[in-house]
Structure 1
Amino acid sequence: MPVRQARRPALLPRAGTLLVLALLSAGVAQAACTDPAASGVNWRRCYMDGRDLKGVALDGAMLRETTFQRSDLTGAKLPRADAYRAKFISARMAGAVLDGTRLIEADLTRADLAGASLKEADLRNAKLVGASMKGADLTGARLEGADLRNADLSQAVWTDGRTCAEGSMGQCH
């Protein structure tokens, strides 16, 4: 009795393989640091140091581990952005809207956040050493483990809604 060989499935031709790969990767966002500022942009692990980003709209943007050192984000809108471990060292962010933004372990050393809105922002383990937060709104923000050494909290609205006294440095009085 002749031995029958097991049938192997036919391999897709090269064009078919490419089509399948294209369909599988459709809709997968790729980080492009050269993409223009826009809502939902994916700037993960990008270098945006020294950029003029005044008033930009970055609602829901992916900014994980991106660096914005000495950038100007005055009046920028970043609600619900994911800025986990992002660096905003010496960034100008006066009047910025960071409501609901994820800033866990972010470095905001010496950042100017005067008048910024950080309502419901997640600032756990963030570094805010020497930051200017005069008049900032921190209503409902999470600050567990945040380093606020020498941060100016004069007239800031604290997490519980009370207003910090003039001269509040490092903690709300």
Structure 2
Amino acid sequence: MESNPASWPDDLYEQIKSHGEFLSARLGKLTRGKQLTLVGVDLTGVKLVGMNLQRAVFRGCRFYCADLRNSDFSQAVLTGCDLSGADLTNARFVWSNLRGADLSRAILKGTRFENADMRPMTEPPVLPHGKGGVVSLSDTTLHNTNLSQAKLLGASFVGAILDGAILDNADLEGADFSYSTLSNVQFKNTKLHDANFHLADFPVEMMKDLQTGGAKLPQVVPPEVLEQVVNDHQLWIDTDGQRGRRAIMSGWYLSRAHLAQANLNGADLRKVNLSNANLHGARLICSDLREANLMYTNLTDADLRGALTEGSRGLPVVLPGNKN
């Protein structure tokens, strides 16, 4: 997206220079420069690469698709800011105030948020660009991102990819990890009370750490139980419901399950986690897949005619006339 410098303050870079003098003066206990303070300003597409913006104040500002790589926002105030789509590679937000900020779809590679305040913002957002409510990291990739000791109460990680993220000693009470993918994530001494992992894709070995932290977890089903349920469902179909039992697997954790060629016509699969599962050639006619996690699911040659899929994630685009 092209930037729109006309919407920035004419003297933006002069203000940043003055802020640098302000920071230097603080170190020497002198009075020089002026602290950078912007309220409700649209900084869409701005390039602030490698800048020292420690202790700067941005309230309700818009940094949509901004280039903030390698910049230092330590102890800065960014309450209610829109940072969606911004490149925050190797940026620092240590001890910063990001309450109510929107970081959805941002690029977080090596980004540091240690001790950041990322709790919901309770006061009204600054118009016209300010955000409010919970901090959003939805659909964001967090690669080697450090969130240790950050306050993330109620934060949204919906659809996020957490690869090598550090969440040690963070407060994630009530956070939502629905449809997220987690690998090599550190949760040492993390507060996870009521954090929702029902539709998250994570290695089974991570389950213990999540349980210890008090997270809400999906129902993990042993392979032999799954096999019996599928067999009972097949019998239920073959006998028109006279024998066997309809498969009701709502809310089950079936990530990476092997269900190739399975007959699940009419099965209840609401909010089931089938991420990375193998459903090659499976029959899912008139099944209920509402709000299911189908991220990276193998649905090659699967028959989804008449299936309910509202709210599901990861389902391939269906063209008229195609059965899958």
Instruction: Specify the TM-score bucket, using the shorter chain as the normaliser.
Output: 0.7 to 0.9
TM-score (normalised: structure 1): 0.73
What is the Cα deviation at residue 163 of structure 1? 9.7
Task: State the Cα distance separating 1:125 from its structure 2 match.
Answer: 0.6
Question: Quick check: 1:110 aligned with 2:140?
Answer: no
Larger RCO (CA within 8 A; separation ≥ 6): 1
Q: Which amino acid aligns with 2:83?
A: L
Q: TM-score, normalised by structure 2?
A: 0.40
Determine if the alignment matches structure 1 residue 63 to structure 2 residue 73: no
Gaps of 5+ in 2: 1-49, 120-133, 219-324
Partner of 1:138: 182
Matches within 5 A, 1:43-62: 43-62=73-92
Change (3 A) 1:135 1:59: same
Output the amino acid matched with 1:170. Answer: A
* Residue pair 2:52, 2:71 contacting (<8 A) in 1 also: no
Q: Please state how far the C-alpha of 1:161 moved relative to its aligned partner.
A: 6.1
Amino acid at match of 1:88: M
Whole-Å Cα distance in 2 between the matches of residues 129 and 34 of structure 1?
27
Match of 2:140 in 1: 96
Identify the residue that residue 215 of structure 2 maps to in structure 1. 170
Q: Distance in 2 between matches of 1:146 and 1:97?
A: 20
CA positional deviation for 1:55: 0.7
Identity between Structure 1 and Structure 2 (%): 23
Q: Comparing both structures, which one devotes a greater share of its residues to strand? A: 2
Paired residue type of 2:86: V
2:169 maps to which of 100, 113, 125? 125
CA distance, structure 2, for counterparts of residue 161 and residue 140 of structure 1:
12
Partners of 2:205 and 2:79 in 1: CA distance: 35
* Larger fraction in helix: 2
Moved over 4 A (4+): 34-37, 161-164
Cα deviation digits, residues 78-118 of structure 1 (max 9, x gap): 11111111122120221112111011101110111101111
